[in-house]
A and B are shown apart, each in its own frame.
Chain A
Amino acid sequence: MKPREISVTVNAKHYRSEVPPRLTLLDYLREVLGLTGTHAGCEHGVCGACSVIFDGQPIRSCLMFAIQADGHEVETVEGLAGADGGLSPLQDAFWEAHALQCGYCTPGMLMASHALLRANPDPTEDEIKEAIGGNLCRCTGYQQIVEAVRLAAKRMREADPEAGPEGNKDRVDE
Chain B
Amino acid sequence: MKAAAFDYIRAGDLAEVCRALDDGGPDCKIIAGGQTLVPMMAMRLARPSILIDINAVGELQGIGGDETSLVIKACTRQAAAERSPEVRAKAPLLAKALRFVGHPQTRNRGTVGGSIANADPVAEIPLVALTLDAGLVAESAGGARNIGISGFFHGLMETSLAADECLTEVRFPVWNGGGIVGTGFREVSIRAGDFAIVAAAVQLALDENGVCKRAAVALGGVAPTPLRIEATAEALLSSDLDAKTVGEAARLAAHEIDPVADVHASAEYRRRTARVMVERAILEARDEALGRVAKP
For the complex, what is the distance from the CA of A21 to the CA of B84, rounded to whole Å?
A: 33
User: Which residues does chain B contribute within 8 Å of A173, judged by CB atoms?
Assistant: 77, 79-80, 83-84
Check A172–B84 contact: CB distance below 8 A. yes
**How far is B83's CA from A170's CA once the two chains are assembled, in angstroms?**
7
Question: A73 to nearest B CB, angstroms?
Answer: 14
A173→B85 CA distance, assembly (Å): 10
- Is B190 an interface position by the 8 A CB rule? no
Interface contact A130-B83, CB-CB below 8 Å: no
A63 in contact with B80 (CB, 8 Å): no
Partner pick for A171 among B35, B83, B109, CB 8 A cutoff: B83
Query: What residues of chain B lie closer than 8 Å to A60, measured between beta carbons?
Result: 105-106, 109
Q: Is the CB of A68 within 8 A of B105?
A: no
As a 0/1 sequence over residues 101 to 140 of chain A, the CB contacts with chain B under 8 angstroms (1 = contact) are 0000000000010010000000000000111011000000
Q: How many residues of A contact B (CB 8 A)?
A: 37
* A42 part of interface (Cβ distance < 8 Å): yes
Number of A-B contacts (CB under 8 A): 104
Q: Nearest Cβ distance between residue A152 and chain B, in whole angstroms?
A: 18
- Bound-state CA distance A120–B42 (Å) is 34
- Residue pair A59, B108 in contact (C-beta under 8 Å): yes
Within 8 A of A (CB), among B32-91: 34-35, 38-39, 42-43, 51, 53, 55, 77, 79-80, 83-85
**How big is the B interface, by class?**
35 or more
Chain B residues whose C-beta falls within 8 Å of the C-beta of A171 in the assembled complex: 83
Of B4-12, B242-250, B266-274, the segment with at least 4 beta carbons within 8 Å of chain A is B4-12
Which of A57, A63, A70 has most B Cβ within 10 Å? A63
Interface presence of A167 (CB below 8 A): no
* Interface flags, B184-197, vs A, CB<8A=1, else 0: 00000001110000
Which chain B residues border A70 with CB–CB below 8 Å?
Answer: 10
76-91 of chain A: CB within 8 A of chain B: none
> A164 to chain B: which residues have CB within 8 Å?
none
- Residues 9-36 of B, flagged 1 when their CB comes within 8 A of A and 0 if not, give 0100000000000000000000100110
A100 to B191, CA, bound (A): 21
Knowing A45-B35, A68-B53 are in contact, say whether A22-B6 is a contact too (CB < 8 A): yes
Task: Give every chain B residue within 8 A of A44 (Cβ-Cβ).
Answer: 1, 38-39, 42-43
**Are B106 and A45 interface neighbours, CB within 8 A?**
yes
CA distance in complex: A165, B51 (Å): 43
CA distance A70 to B56 in the complex (A): 11
Task: Say yes or no: is A1 at the interface (Cβ < 8 Å to chain B).
Answer: yes
Does A51 touch B at the CB level, under 8 Å?
A: yes
CB distance from B196 to the nearest CB of A (A): 15
Q: Which of chain B's residues 206-226 have a Cβ closer than 8 Å to chain A?
A: none
Q: Is A141 an interface residue (CB 8 A)?
A: no
Answer whether A133 and B103 are a contact pair too, CB < 8 Å, given A44-B39, A68-B53, A173-B80.
yes
Q: Which residues of B contact A112 (CB under 8 A)?
A: 104-105
Q: List 6 A-B contacts (CB under 8 A).
A: A45-B106, A58-B108, A59-B105, A59-B106, A130-B104, A133-B103
B interface list, Cβ under 8 A from A: 1-8, 10, 31, 34-35, 38-39, 42-43, 51, 53, 55, 77, 79-80, 83-85, 102-106, 108-109, 191-193
Give me the 3 closest cross-chain CB pairs, A-B, nearest first. A134-B103, A43-B1, A21-B8
